[in-house]
Structure 1
Amino acid sequence: MKPPKRFQTATVDRALTAFSSKTGRRRFLIADEVGLGKTVVAREIVGRLAERKRKPLVVFYVSNGTSVATQNKTRVVEFLPEAERKRAIDTPDRLSLIAVLTPPTSPVVVYALTPHTSFPRVGSALTGGRIGERAYISLLMEKAFPSAWRAMGSDYMRLDATSGWTGALERARERLEAAPVGLLARFREALADEFEAPVSATMRAQVQGKPPRAFIGRLRRALALASLRHQPPDIVIFDEFQRYRHILDKGGQANPLVKALLASGRRGPALLFLSATPTNYSRRDGRRAGAPKRTRNYSISSSSLLERNCGARRKGCLGLSARHYMRSFRRETAMPPQWRPASARRPGCAIS
């Protein structure tokens, strides 16, 4: 593992200062070109935060693709010894599965999540999920709302599973016995948020009137919400965050999963936003964002901003958001003010 460079260490220090603020917003944006070490900075931030905690540091790494998320979650914990590193990344890739599996015993626990799987848009099509999820939900429903579970019938959650269903139930029963205390209560609370009161009667009506996959999808969403509330993250890393407007814009506030994600805990988690491709502008969009009128098609990046504001291209000088970038991004999205990353700059830059 290579040690961080001086400009990366300076970025880590600034980010930790923002995260430790008791009055400000605990979020930080790093907008660097490809190859300038955003993941290295994220790794150092995670390592420094883990040193301050007695309990395992819970990290949610949100990326647009499963392969990218899996690769980068390994890099985020490179500072750990090999045995602890393997345990730290041996985690499920969905919110609903976090409650199914026992958290690993390591100083850091990293969950690599994709936005469309773990935080689907409100109104998007719901699916039945994996067989392990459905088996676990079936046992939870039997304990939480027996009348609704009886209305479903013993094979309702099976869907198209055949020989593997019995084994899935046995594994789910073992995991339920080892589940953390209070998970069942969290699941009841999540179902109360998902369905109208009276909850049990509403679910029985849903069983009779809705396709099985749609109803099971709502149960999966409730389990994900219960998992999120039961094991909230300490830090959420959004890789290429500009791709997740359905999470960060005003519409995201209507999603209970997103609301619980960004407001979990007493102070909420630290939010680290990473971006190598902040935004592209057309001639019309450039004028709207305050760019020169003669500008045709170009891309705003850290280096172009650096040349424009510092007068020279100095690699590594600008890695954090400049005022021009944040102004343009705010106009491009409807991100609520309380979630907007704080603007900052690295030492040596003349950007204000």
Structure 2
Amino acid sequence: MFAEGDPALRFLVADEVGLGKTHVAKGVIALVIEHLRRIGDERHDIVYVCSNAAIARQNLRKLVPKGIEPLENIERLTMLPLARLDAGNSGQPGVNLLAITPGTSLKFGRSTGTFTERCLAYTFLRSHWGADVMSPRARRIFWNGITAGDPDKRLRSLERQYRPLIRGSLDGFVKLLDKVDEDRRHHGRPSIRSLFDEIVDGLAWKRTFPDDLLELRKELIGEVRRVMALVGITALRPDFVVLDEFQRFKDLLQPDPGNFAAELAHHLFDHVDPETGRATRTLLLSATPYRMYTTADEVDGDHYADFLDTCRFLYQDPKPVDRLERRFAKLRSALMSVDTLADAGV
């Protein structure tokens, strides 16, 4: 993993359920931290990715080495700008270990997220556009749907709490928002500010949110949440990423310009530390993920194709995977003919 010369960067541990993959991951995390400390690295960022939030919280405690506190209050990348990541100090490295789930941190769709996410979105936009833009009518965009207590008061209270915490992230947020606007203009769509103004104008004299504005609201908040996730992920310097039961989110393994979740995930997988040039190491964990063959009536995909995709991710080089595919083709040909394996060149 940290060998001189040309170290491997991606690894797979696959066995049956209950044979100790989590213990293996804990041991590897401890070795990674030990190695980074030995070479004088002052900050270690470790990300655990799991498909289930409850299991992620449970396993996070199992994975963390003794004496290290994980970032348990941050479960979504969108909220990471609020975290004070430990940069370490002389003689005492900082360890940032957090768990995320693809469904809440990487895959957004048209969801408006949680109330706290929308409060953070409000904080960023208010800091960028100015307080005068956020009229009581405009604030409805962020608290609509919340019925308990006084949601507008809660929104303003959280904004005051979040405001000093995002100062270091605001410039990055603005730059990324500008990129989103540039892409939207390229596709003939209104800017985020224009979308916001359209919603605010449409809410005039309305006691309830009209259905057409609800769709625009989803679009607006969805775009801002994506920017917040990018702000959060760029704040990380992942040294080690663990993907638990990776076959549940196999669509994240291959880069895809049309898949924002995969784009975010590859910010983790493909990260290279700008100061040291050290690339992220990634560990895939899974119960044996592939069966030997796929029947015609299966609806959960082609196991052989998924296996090759996993190999492409691990190798990061098409050549060995092409060789493997050719060898399998020869093996299949031999098994279906009278040739021996030697005759088939396997």
Cα distance change, pair 56–326 in 1 and its aligned pair in 2 (3 A): farther
- 1:175-199 CA-to-partner distances (Å, cap 9, x unmatched) read 3313462x11111122133332688
Aligned pairs for 1:211-226 within 5 A: 211-226=216-231
CA distance in structure 1 between the partners assigned to 2:176 and 2:4 by the alignment: 31
CA distance in structure 2 between the partners assigned to 1:195 and 1:20 by the alignment: 43
SS class of match (2:316): helix
- 1:150-195 CA-to-partner distances (Å, cap 9, x unmatched) read 59823322222241442343233223313462x1111112213333
Aligned pairs for 1:76-225 within 5 A: 76-77=63-64, 79-81=65-67, 84=68, 87-103=69-85, 107-120=94-107, 125-146=109-130, 153-162=138-147, 163-179=150-166, 181=168, 183-196=169-182, 202-207=191-196, 208=198, 211-225=216-230
Cα distance change, pair 238–336 in 1 and its aligned pair in 2 (3 A): closer
**Unmatched 5+ residue regions in structure 2?**
200-214, 322-346
SS class of match (2:70): helix
Give the TM-score of the pair, scaled to structure 2. Answer: 0.68
AA matched with 2:96: V
Q: Is the 8 A contact 1:19 1:27 kept in 2?
A: no
- 1:70-119 CA-to-partner distances (Å, cap 9, x unmatched) read 11111111x313xx4xx324331111011123346884322211112111
- 1:312-345 CA-to-partner distances (Å, cap 9, x unmatched) read xxxxxxxxxxxxx9997116897596289x99xx
Aligned pairs for 1:224-243 within 5 A: 224-243=229-248
Cα distance change, pair 32–264 in 1 and its aligned pair in 2 (3 A): same
SS class of match (1:97): helix
Structure 2 match to 1:12: none
Structure 2 match to 1:62: 49
- 1:120-160 CA-to-partner distances (Å, cap 9, x unmatched) read 1xxx6321111111112112112224499559823322222
- 1:215-237 CA-to-partner distances (Å, cap 9, x unmatched) read 10110111011011022322111
CA distance in structure 2 between the partners assigned to 1:219 and 1:46 by the alignment: 33
AA matched with 2:191: T
Structure 2 match to 1:9: none
Q: Is the 8 A contact 2:47 2:242 kept in 1?
A: yes
Structure 2 match to 1:10: none
Q: Is the 8 A contact 1:250 1:335 kept in 2?
A: no
Of 264-273 and 215-224, deviating more is 264-273
Cα distance change, pair 20–334 in 1 and its aligned pair in 2 (3 A): closer
Cα distance change, pair 37–159 in 1 and its aligned pair in 2 (3 A): same
Structure 2 match to 1:30: 13
CA distance in structure 2 between the partners assigned to 1:37 and 1:59 by the alignment: 20
Structure 2 match to 1:269: 280
CA distance in structure 1 between the partners assigned to 2:254 and 2:184 by the alignment: 32
CA distance in structure 2 between the partners assigned to 1:230 and 1:192 by the alignment: 18
**Unmatched 5+ residue regions in structure 1?**
1-17, 286-296, 298-324, 344-352
Q: What is the deviation of 1:258? A: 2.5
Q: What is the deviation of 1:281? A: 3.9
SS class of match (2:139): coil
CA RMSD of aligned residues (A): 3.6
Tell me how many residue pairs correspond in the alignment: 278
Of 31-40 and 140-149, deviating more is 140-149
Q: Is the 8 A contact 2:140 2:152 kept in 1?
A: no
CA distance in structure 1 between the partners assigned to 2:232 and 2:294 by the alignment: 45
Q: Which has the larger radius of gyration?
A: 2
Identity of aligned residues (%): 24
Q: What is the deviation of 1:201? A: 6.4
CA distance in structure 2 between the partners assigned to 1:169 and 1:219 by the alignment: 18
Q: Is the 8 A contact 1:61 1:110 kept in 2?
A: yes
